[in-house]
Chain A
Amino acid sequence: DIQMTQSPSTLSASVGDRVTITCRASQSISIWLAWFQQKPGMAPKLLIYKASSLESGVPSRFSGSGSGTEFTLTISSLQPDDFATYYCQQYNIRWTFGQGTKVEIK
C-alpha cells in the first residue's frame, strides 16, 4: 500500500502569510496527487488535482507542485476563509490520504 505523509501536522499562520504544506508518498505516484480542504462538520472540497491543476472555482492563491514522491500545496496569501484542515491524496494506485495539516490562526 502507498503511504502518504504530510508535514507539518499543524501550522500557525496569520492572514496574508505565504503557507506551504508538504506531502510525501512512500513510492512514486507520478502526478496523481490531489489536495482537499476540509472545515469542521463539512465535506472535503477538492482544490488541486493531478498535482498542479486548479479545480474550477478555487481561488488562484492556491497552487500545487511536485511529481514522483514529493509534493507541495502553497497558499500565496492566507485569507480568513483558508483556516481549515488540508489533506493530500494519492490516486495512482487505489486511494490514500495523508493524515492532514491543520492551518490555524497565529
Chain B
Amino acid sequence: EVQLLESGGGLVQPGGSLRLSCAASGFTFSNFMAWVRQAPGKGLEWVSGISGSGGGTFYADSVKGRFIISRDNSMNTLYLHMNTLRADDTAVYFCAKDAGYDSGHEVFDSWGQGTLVTVSS
C-alpha cells in the first residue's frame, strides 16, 4: 500500500524558513513527486515538482526563488525547503506521487494527509 506521510509544518514568522518532509513507502521511490498546497477554505495550488532522479525541478511562479524541492532516494523522502515565508504561504501542504501512466504528463494518484504551515507574527 502506498503511503505518503508529511511532517515539518508549524507556525513560523513572516520572513522565516521551514523544511517539510514527505516519507514515502509502499512503492519504488523513483516516480515524479510534487507538492500541492491549499490555503484555508480555498482551492488547490500546485507548488513544485521534481523528477525521479532529482535532476529536474519545477516551481510555481508564486514560490520561485523562495522554495527549493529536493529528494533523497536512498531515504525514500521528499523535501520542500521554504524560505522568506509570507502570510499568503499559509496552507496545508500535500505531497503527491505521479501515477506513471504517461511519460512527460504526470498525474497525481496518491497523496499524503497534508501538513499545516501557518505564517504569522
Judge if A24 is at the interface, Cβ distance under 8 Å: no
List residues of chain A with CB within 8 A of the CB of B109.
46, 49, 55
Closest to A96 in B: B46
Evaluate contact between A32 and B111: CB separation under 8 angstroms.
no
Judge if A97 is at the interface, Cβ distance under 8 Å: yes
Q: Main SS of the interface on chain B?
A: strand
Evaluate contact between A87 and B44: CB separation under 8 angstroms.
yes
Which of A32, A46, A50, A100 is within 8 Å of B43, CB to CB? A100
Evaluate contact between A46 and B46: CB separation under 8 angstroms.
no
- Whole-angstrom distance between the Cβ of A81 and the nearest chain B Cβ: 18
List residues of chain A with CB within 8 A of the CB of B105.
32, 91-92
Evaluate contact between A91 and B58: CB separation under 8 angstroms.
no
List residues of chain A with CB within 8 A of the CB of B114.
43
Evaluate contact between A50 and B112: CB separation under 8 angstroms.
no
**Chain A 45-87 per-residue mask, 1 if CB under 8 angstroms from chain B, else 0:** 1100110010100000000000000000000000000000001
What is A's interface to B at a CB cutoff of 8 Å? Answer: 1, 32, 34, 36, 38, 42-46, 49-50, 53, 55, 87, 89, 91-92, 94-100
List residues of chain A with CB within 8 A of the CB of B49.
95
- Whole-angstrom distance between the Cβ of A88 and the nearest chain B Cβ: 10
Evaluate contact between B107 and A49: CB separation under 8 angstroms.
yes
List residues of chain B with CB within 8 A of the CB of A36.
44
Which of A45, A46, A96, A98 is within 8 Å of B107, CB to CB? A46
A38-B44, A43-B112, A49-B101 known; 5 other A-B pairs, CB under 8 Å? Answer: A50-B102, A50-B107, A89-B107, A95-B34, A98-B43
Closest 10 A/B residue pairs (Cβ): A43-B111, A95-B46, A97-B44, A49-B107, A100-B43, A46-B109, A34-B107, A99-B43, A32-B105, A91-B105
Evaluate contact between B43 and A97: CB separation under 8 angstroms.
yes
Judge if B77 is at the interface, Cβ distance under 8 Å: no
CA distance A100 to B43 in the complex (A): 6
Judge if B94 is at the interface, Cβ distance under 8 Å: yes
A-B contacts, 17 of them at CB < 8 A, read A1-B61, A32-B105, A34-B107, A34-B108, A42-B113, A43-B113, A44-B44, A44-B108, A44-B111, A45-B111, A46-B109, A49-B99, A49-B107, A50-B107, A87-B44, A95-B49, A97-B46
